[in-house]
Amino acid sequence: MQLNSDFSQRVATRPEQYQFIDSPLAGVSRMMLERAGAEIARATSIVRYAPGAGYSRHTHDGGEEILVLDGVFSDEHGDYPAGSYLRNPPGTSHQPFSVQGCTLLVKLWQFAADDTTPVCINTQTADWFPGLVPGLSVLPLHEHNGVNTALVRWAPHTQFNRHLHAGGEEILVLEGLFCDEFGQYPEASWLRSPRYSTHAPFTLEQGALIYVKVGHLGADLLGDQFIQSSPK
């Protein structure tokens, strides 16, 4: 399957477009945002666990990145409430489940081969830092070889400068309404902008909280093997 795997194209998926499909395991469903490959794939998805659902033990040969959006996600290593950010490097294994149910952002096979450090951050208690313009605050989550991931909180009526993303940009709107000159994106909207794209984002009276990843489009990642005619 090749879904939104042409990284030279801009993609904007809004919540009214979500269509969850069942995974191979009962009680777990997925909204596929981008995918290259079959059941083993370079993939970005919104994943829902029904109460009591879980996966069998498995190994992530290409690594797994998780942001818990609601509920509580668990495995044999612990319980991760909403706001938890996890990185399970290539070669790690676990047996995930959710007692009460949960919703996750999950990214698979999007690690560099030498990115081997596990990460577990409770973003509800972590320290935030001032952003580049008034009204922005930033919580760094991960950085490796020019690929940066963070949460960014936008106060109401904040305007950011027009800027260029040489390595592309990916955004999931977690709260509020995020805007740029191309449109307005409510909570649960997913955006991906190609390499060397520009925009001038802003917020209105609601403000916004967003997950942001930059620098990963064109980076040397393990999942590139699944992409057909990948633009570099």
Query: Where do the domains of the chain lie, and which CATH numbers do they carry?
Result: 2-122 (2.60.120.10), 129-214 (2.60.120.10)
- pLDDT of 56: 85
Low-confidence winner among 25-39, 126-140, 195-209, 218-232 (lowest mean pLDDT): 218-232
Q: What are the pLDDT digits (tens) for 69-82?
A: 999 999 999 999 99
For 118, phi then psi, to 5°, come to -65, 150
Residue 55 pLDDT class (50, 70, 90 cuts): confident
**Three-state secondary structure along 91-136?**
CEEECCECCCCEEEEEEECCCCCCCCCCEEEECCCCCCEECCCCCE
The larger pLDDT score, comparing residue 56 to residue 75, is at 75
- pLDDT of 229: 53
Q: What are the pLDDT digits (tens) for 167-222?
A: 999 999 999 999 999 999 999 999 999 999 999 999 999 999 999 999 999 999 99
Nearest-angstrom CA–CA distance, 48 and 98: 10
For 126, phi then psi, to 5°, come to -75, 160
